[in-house]
Amino acid sequence: MKRRKNIGLIAHDACKKDMTEWAVFNARRLAHHRLVCTGTTGSLIQKVFAEKYPGLEVELIRLKSGPLGGDQQMGALIAEGRLDILIFFTDPMTMQPHDVDIKALIRLSTIANIVVACTRSTADFIISSELFDGDYESIPPDHQAYISRPV
């Protein structure tokens, strides 16, 4: 993992306010990294950054809305090794029609051994870690036993 991280940001509808507040609070640290957001979350973060920090240059890439394919796009980035951290503020109190996509993202993140936060508290711990702004060499998981075992 390089010093400049690729950070995925996703928030369910009930958590979008939390995500934008978190992103604004951490804007100066996030600006050193590349942000990849699902559609609506990305729009909200882009808007609030422009309002609160007009001169701050932030590389922000917007994918499709989560239920319209953005979750799969984010999953593809994880599977290709192009995402280092996933901050996904989930709403555990509301049924999500794309629940299988959400579970797949968490599963892919675990398989790829990337950093994942599903709550604001966890995201706070991650961004305040001394490892956040530096190079980091994670230990790649060994899935060879699963690949070579007979069906």
Q: What are the structural domain ranges in the chain? A: 10-66+91-96
Active-site entry in 13, 71, 135, 142:
71
- Residue 96: its pLDDT value, please? 76
Q: Report the C-alpha gap between 104 and 124 in whole angstroms.
A: 24
- Tell me whether residue 135 is one of the annotated catalytic residues: no
- Residue 150: its pLDDT value, please? 67
- Residue 106: its pLDDT value, please? 93
Q: Which superfamily does CATH assign the domain made up of 10-66+91-96 to?
A: Methylglyoxal synthase-like domain (3.40.50.1380)
Per DSSP, the residues of 43-55 read: HHHHHHHHHH-TT
- Residue 149: its pLDDT value, please? 65
The SS3 call for residue 134 is coil
- Residue 95: its pLDDT value, please? 79
- Residue 94: its pLDDT value, please? 84
User: Token digits for 7?
Assistant: 């950070």
Residues 106/114, Cβ–Cβ less than 8 Å: no
Residues 109/87, Cβ–Cβ less than 8 Å: no
Question: One digit per residue, pLDDT tens: the chain, 151 residues?
Answer: 899 999 999 999 999 999 999 999 999 999 999 999 999 999 999 999 999 999 999 999 999 998 899 999 999 999 999 999 999 999 888 877 777 888 899 999 999 999 999 999 999 999 999 999 999 998 878 887 777 666 6
User: Token digits for 60?
Assistant: 């922000």
Query: Which residue type does 82 have?
Result: R
